[in-house]
Amino acid sequence: MSSCRIIVGFFVIASMAGLLIAGIRTGAISQSGPYLIPTDVKYRLDPAQSKFIVHANRTGLAWFKGHSHRIAVGDFSGTAELNVGAVNPASLQLTVRAASLEETDPVFTPEQKKIINKELNDLVLETAKYPEITFKSTDVKGSVVSGMFDVRIGGDLTLHGVTKHIVIPATVTVTGDTMRAVGEFEIDRKDFKVNATEAFHGFVKVKHHLKFEFDIVGTRQ
């Protein structure tokens, strides 16, 4: 190989290395593990690896002696998009099958859980009429700290046919092809015209504020 070709090859390699380093420094690309991830990445949410729980504190004593409800979201889908090098641009879309919400607190017997789930479907969420609960982000704010994203996700939550703007705080981490978002938020069920049950056994008789706890995992598409 001639010395001229060797020199040209050296400059090509050096230029590529320079562009690579510049891209990492500016956030155009980000390194994770042994390979590089492009800045804008889409993740598909995976309910099988995730936890999404609704905590509802019970009001009154009645039959269940004041036990609170621990309702798990069993079936949801959605996508999250984020810039690996910065908070923005980022987005989140989530769709929950309302009928998949089920009581999971071990203090209740199987028969009690069956009654609670029926009231959730028929009287509280009215899942035949409102089969989906959705969230669509409108803005994401926050910062990157030690490789983690501390964010506040603003967006529109549609529940029981009512849409309200809410803000969800979360900590987001990315490891290889996996994204994890952990956090919690509260809503007032009265804002969404969700009533506690009074008919039948009235087991789902809860206070106004509901707390949502989530640990959601997404895999890179």
Q: Are residues 69 and 92 in the same domain?
A: yes
- Amino acid at the residue 134: T
Q: Are residues 80 and 60 in the same domain?
A: yes
Would you state the pLDDT for residue 158?
Answer: 98
Would you state the pLDDT for residue 59?
Answer: 57
Give the number of domains in the chain: 2
221 with 78: CB under 8 angstroms? no
Average pLDDT, integer, range 214-219 = 97
In the chain, how long is the greatest CA-to-CA distance? 91
Q: Are residues 45 and 71 in the same domain?
A: yes
For residue 4, pLDDT beyond 60:
no
Q: Are residues 116 and 148 in the same domain?
A: yes
Q: Are residues 90 and 20 in the same domain?
A: no
**What are 112-161's pLDDT values in tens digits?**
899 889 888 988 899 999 999 999 999 999 988 777 889 999 999 999 99
Checking 120-124 for CB contacts under 8 A at 24+ apart, the result is 120/71, 120/204, 123/195, 123/197, 123/199, 123/200, 123/204, 124/194, 124/195, 124/196, 124/197, 124/204
Q: Which two tokens stand for residue 72?
A: 């798990």
CATH number for 212: 2.40.128.110
**What are 163-205's pLDDT values in tens digits?**
999 999 999 999 999 999 999 999 998 899 987 765 445 556 6
Three-state secondary structure call for residue 111:
helix
Q: Which two tokens stand for residue 51?
A: 């936890």
For residue 52, pLDDT beyond 80:
yes
Burial status of residue 216 (CB atoms within 10 A of its CB: 0-12, 13-18, 19 or more):
buried
For residue 220, pLDDT beyond 90:
yes
For residue 9, pLDDT beyond 90:
no
Pairing of β 51-58 and β 69-73 = antiparallel
- Whole-model pTM? 0.76
Domain span including residue 17: 1-36
